[in-house]
Amino acid sequence: MNRIIIRLPGGGRINKKNEMQEIAWWDYRNYFINPEFYSEIKSVINNNINCTFFFVSGGVGAFLYTNLCKSLGVGGDITSQVGCDIVSIMHKILINNLLGSGVDTYPTEMTLNELSEKVNLENSCYFIKPCSDIMSTDSLAAQVASIVLADIVIYLKEGAPVYHIGFKEPTRVAKWSINDIRARAKEVNGHYIIDSEALNKIEEGNIKTIITNPRAFSGFNYHESNFGLGGEENYSEVVNDLL
């Protein structure tokens, strides 16, 4: 049984409708979480026979709440927990959607401790509960990969494998060394494409890792060439410099 870790996308899933609202301040109602990507997760699971999926969602819209915390001077520990709570809300929605669609889904979030202690992973997919002492959901995905001895970790990032931040112009990257990601991250405020904690885990465990975009992921098949993503031009492979 192949074990696959998916770090689901974050704020890029928020879209805006081009509609006029009856009252000007109702314009916020034009913003919505696009459901198209999430509705395809069922098919990806069903198309990957003999695979177990472990999902970690990005914090879709979490920045609204964490920014409010910072503006009000709320402590960092509480702010981090608020971000985790938003991720858990996404997990609750997706778990119940998949259960309702007949997918063999573990019915609640699973903590890292529970995952470490579980002998038999009999369900088709699991959603991993975030915790505030881990740097980010990127790091959480790498931690999960280390625990379950995953065959691959897939980070879903908007626009990948073309990158803007850290480059002088939009650049397509097919193979991206961990050291180069680290070097480019130094020029960026906040977390980069994959944060330092996650990179350390990937490097230490020699975990096969790719970065692709949510649109390409709909065709994912672990058993096909290029993982069913349509070609190497549609994803970046993270390369371990220590090998």
SS3 of residue 225 by DSSP: helix
Task: Name the phi and psi angles at 177, rounded to 5.
Answer: -70, 145
Using alpha carbons, select from 8, 22, 116 the residue that is nearest to residue 56: 8
**CA–CA distances in Å: residue 138 to residues 18, 130, 131, 144, 195:** 32, 10, 12, 10, 7
Domains of the chain, first to last: 2-12+31-239 (3.40.1160.10)
- Residue 80 pLDDT: 94
List, for residues 68-127, the tens digit of each pLDDT value. 999 999 988 999 999 999 999 999 999 999 999 999 999 999 999 999 998 789 999 999
CA distance 63 to 106: 28
For the beta carbon of residue 29, count every other beta carbon within 10 angstroms: 12
* Angle formed at CA 124 by CA 120 and CA 125, multiple of 5 degrees: 95
pLDDT of residue 24 exceeding 90, the answer is no
Strands 31-33 and 14-16: antiparallel
- Residue 82 pLDDT: 96
CA 224 centroid distance within chain: 22
List, for residues 210-227, the tens digit of each pLDDT value. 999 999 999 999 999 999
pLDDT of residue 190 exceeding 80, the answer is no
Contact of 187 with 205, CB cutoff 8 Å: no
Using alpha carbons, select from 199, 175, 171 the residue that is nearest to residue 185: 199
List, for residues 153-180, the tens digit of each pLDDT value. 999 999 999 999 889 999 999 999 999 9
Q: Which whole number is the average pLDDT over 57-65?
A: 94
Q: Which residue has the tokens 């990005």?
A: 58
SS3 of residue 239 by DSSP: strand
Q: Which residue has the tokens 């002492």?
A: 133
- Residue 189 pLDDT: 73
Higher-pLDDT residue of 187 and 15 is 15
Contact of 155 with 209, CB cutoff 8 Å: yes
- Residue 119 pLDDT: 78
Average pLDDT score over the chain: 94
List, for residues 134-148, the tens digit of each pLDDT value. 989 999 999 999 999
CA distance 36 to 75: 36
- Residue 242 pLDDT: 75
- Residue 156 pLDDT: 97
